[in-house]
Amino acid sequence: MSGGRPVGPARDVPRARVRAQADLRALAQAGAYLLPSLVVFCVFVFYPLVRNLELSLYETTPFGGLGLFTGAGNYAQLLGSPAFLNSLRVTFLFALYTVPAGIALGLPLALLANRRIRGIVVYRTAYSFTIAVSIAAAALIWHWLLDPNVGILDYLLTLVHLPKVGWLTDPRWALPAVAATTVWKDLGFNVVVLLAALQGVPDELVEAARIDGAGQWGVFRSVVVPAISPALFFVGVVSTIGVVQSFGQIHILTQGGPLDSTNVIVYSIYRNAFFNFRFGLAAAQAMILFVLVLVLTGLQFAVFERWVTYQ
Amino acid sequence: MRARVTRRELLKRAGAVAGGAVAAGLAPARVRAQAATRIVFWHSMGGNLGETVVRAFVNRFNASRSDIRVEAQYQGSYDDAINKLRASIQSSAVPAIAQVYDIGTRFMIDSKGVVPVQEFIDRDKFDLGVLEPNILAYYRVGGRLYSMPFNTSTAILYYNKDMFKKAGLNPEQPPRTFEEIEEYATRLTQSGVTRSGIALAIYGWFFEQLLARQGALYANHGNGRDAPATAVVFHEEEAGVRILEWWARMVKAGVATNPGRATAASQRAFAAGQTAMTADSTAVLASLLRGAGGKFAVGTGYFPKPPAAANGGSIVGGASVWILKGRPPAEQQAAWEFAKFITAPAQQAAWYVGTGYFPIRKDAYREPVARETLAKSPQFLTAISELRSSPINRATQGALLGVFPEARQKVEEAIEATVLGRKTPKQALDDAARDINQAIAVYNRTMGVS
Same domain for A273 and A237, yes or no, is yes
Q: Find the closest chain B residue to A285 by CA distance.
A: B5
With contacts defined as CB-CB under 8 Å, which chain B residues touch A51?
9
Query: Which residue type sits at A236?
Result: G
With contacts defined as CB-CB under 8 Å, which chain B residues touch A60?
446
Residue B341 has pLDDT above 50, yes or no: yes
Same domain for A38 and A115, yes or no, is no
- The complex scores an ipTM of 0.73
pLDDT, tens digit only, all 311 positions of chain A:
444 444 544 555 567 778 888 889 999 999 999 999 999 999 999 999 999 999 999 988 888 788 889 899 999 999 999 999 999 999 999 999 999 999 999 999 999 999 888 888 888 888 888 999 999 999 999 998 998 777 899 889 989 988 888 899 889 999 999 999 999 999 999 999 999 999 999 889 889 999 988 888 999 988 999 999 999 999 999 999 999 999 999 999 998 878 899 999 999 999 998 888 889 999 999 999 999 999 988 988 888 888 887 76
Residues of chain B with CATH 3.40.190.10: 2-153+317-379, 155-315+395-447
The answer to whether residue A196 sits within a structural domain is: yes
Q: How far apart are CA B138 and CA B399, in angstroms?
A: 9
Q: Find the closest chain B residue to A47 by CA distance.
A: B6
Residue B91 has pLDDT above 80, yes or no: no
Q: How far apart are CA B172 and CA B325, in angstroms?
A: 50
Report the number of distinct structural domains present in chain A.
2
Residue B16 has pLDDT above 50, yes or no: no
pLDDT of the residue at A13: 56
Q: Mutating which of A178, A240, A261, A274 best tests the B interface, going by the most B Cβ atoms within 10 A?
A: A274
Q: What is the DSSP string of B244-289?
A: HHHHHHHHHTTSEE---S-HHHHHHHHHTT--SEEEEEGGGHHHHH
Same domain for A194 and A286, yes or no, is yes
The reply to whether B87 touches chain A by the CB within 8 Å rule is yes
Contact B87, B12 (CB under 8 A): yes
Nearest to A45 among B2, B275, B403 (CB): B2
The answer to whether residue A289 sits within a structural domain is: yes
Residue B101 has pLDDT above 60, yes or no: yes
pLDDT of the residue at A5: 47
With contacts defined as CB-CB under 8 Å, which chain A residues touch B409?
271, 275
Measured torsion, CA atoms of residues A95, A96, A97, A103, in degrees rounded to the nearest 10: 90
Q: How many CB atoms lie within 10 A of CB A7?
A: 7
Same domain for A233 and A104, yes or no, is yes
The answer to whether residue A22 sits within a structural domain is: yes
Of B154, B206, B182, the closest CA to residue B381 belongs to B154
The answer to whether residue A9 sits within a structural domain is: no
Please report the residues numbered 190 through 219 in chain B whose beta carbons come closer than 8 angstroms to any beta carbon of chain A.
196, 199, 202
Task: Specify the higher pLDDT residue, B88 or B241.
Answer: B241
CB contact under 8 A, B6 and A45: yes
The answer to whether residue A4 sits within a structural domain is: no
Same domain for A98 and A39, yes or no, is no
Q: Which residues contact B145 (CB under 8 A, 6 or more apart)?
A: B116, B117, B118, B121, B128, B136, B139
The reply to whether B23 touches chain A by the CB within 8 Å rule is no
With contacts defined as CB-CB under 8 Å, which chain A residues touch B13?
none
The answer to whether residue A237 sits within a structural domain is: yes
With contacts defined as CB-CB under 8 Å, which chain B residues touch A52?
5-6
The answer to whether residue A20 sits within a structural domain is: yes
Q: Which residues contact B426 (CB under 8 A, 6 or more apart)?
A: B235, B241
CB contact under 8 A, B79 and A270: no
Question: How far away is chain A from the Cα of B113, in angstroms, using its nearest Cα?
Answer: 11
Whole-angstrom Cα Rg for chain B: 22
Q: How far apart are CA B147 and CA B119, in angstroms?
A: 10
Q: Give me the domain span that covers residue A37.
A: 16-55
pLDDT of the residue at A12: 55
Residue A181 is part of a domain; what is its CATH number?
Answer: 1.10.3720.10
CB contact under 8 A, A48 and B9: yes
The predicted-structure confidence for B54-69, as pLDDT tens digits, reads as follows 999 999 999 999 999 9
Same domain for A106 and A23, yes or no, is no
Query: Which residue type sits at A116?
Result: R
Residue B15 has pLDDT above 50, yes or no: no
pLDDT of the residue at A262: 95
The reply to whether B86 touches chain A by the CB within 8 Å rule is yes
Q: Find the closest chain A residue to B444 by CA distance.
A: A61
Nearest to B260 among A258, A273, A275 (CB): A258
Binning pLDDT at 50, 70 and 90, where does residue B260 land?
confident
The predicted-structure confidence for B342-393, as pLDDT tens digits, reads as follows 999 999 999 999 999 999 999 999 999 999 999 999 999 999 999 999 999 9
Largest separation between any pair of C-alpha atoms in chain B? 73
Same domain for A50 and A132, yes or no, is no
Assign domain B155-315+395-447 to a CATH class: alpha beta
Query: Across all residues in chain B, what is the average pLDDT?
Result: 90
With contacts defined as CB-CB under 8 Å, which chain A residues touch B257?
148-149
Contact B298, B271 (CB under 8 A): no
Residue B11 has pLDDT above 80, yes or no: no
Same domain for A51 and A136, yes or no, is no
The answer to whether residue A263 sits within a structural domain is: yes
Homologous superfamily (CATH) of B2-153+317-379 is Periplasmic binding protein-like II (3.40.190.10)
